Structure 1
Amino acid sequence: MASHDHHHTSAPNPRGLTRGAVAATLHCLTGCAIGEVLGMVVGTALGLSNLATIVLSVVLAFVFGYSLTLRPVLRSGLTLAAALPVALASDTVSIAVMEVVDNLVMLLIPGAMDAGLTRWLFWASLAGSLVIAFVLTVPVNRWLIARGRGHAVVHQYHHAGHQHH
Structure 2
Amino acid sequence: MAAQATLHCLTGCAVGEVAGMIIGTAAGLHNGATVAVSVVLAFVFGYALTMRGVLRAGVAVRQALKVALAADTVSILVMEIIDNTVMVGVPGAMDAGLTDVLFWGSLAGSLVLAFVLTVPVNRWMIGRGKGHAVVHAHH
Q: Who is 1:64 aligned against?
A: 45
Q: Who is 1:131 aligned against?
A: 112
Q: Who is 1:74 aligned against?
A: 55
Q: In the TM superposition, what is the alpha-carbon distance from 1:156 to its structure 2 partner?
A: 1.6
TM-score, normalised by the number of residues in structure 1: 0.83
In the aligned structure 1, how far is the partner of 2:13 from the partner of 2:52? 16
Q: Percent identity?
A: 71
Q: In the TM superposition, what is the alpha-carbon distance from 1:37 to its structure 2 partner?
A: 0.6
Q: Who is 2:96 aligned against?
A: 115
Q: Who is 2:26 aligned against?
A: 45
In the aligned structure 1, how far is the partner of 2:102 from the partner of 2:63? 43
Q: Equivalent residue of 2:137, what SS?
A: helix
Between structure 1 and structure 2, the one with the greater Rg is 1
Runs of 4 or more above 3 Å deviation: none
Q: Who is 1:21 aligned against?
A: 2
CA root-mean-square deviation = 0.5
Q: Who is 1:154 aligned against?
A: 135
Give the letter for the 1:60 counterpart.
Answer: L
The alignment of Structure 1 onto Structure 2 pairs a total of residues equal to 139
Q: Who is 1:144 aligned against?
A: 125
Q: Who is 2:68 aligned against?
A: 87
Q: Equivalent residue of 1:157, what SS?
A: coil
Q: Show structure 2 runs of 5+ residues with no match.
A: none
Q: Show structure 1 runs of 5+ residues with no match.
A: 1-19, 159-165
Q: Equivalent residue of 1:133, what SS?
A: helix
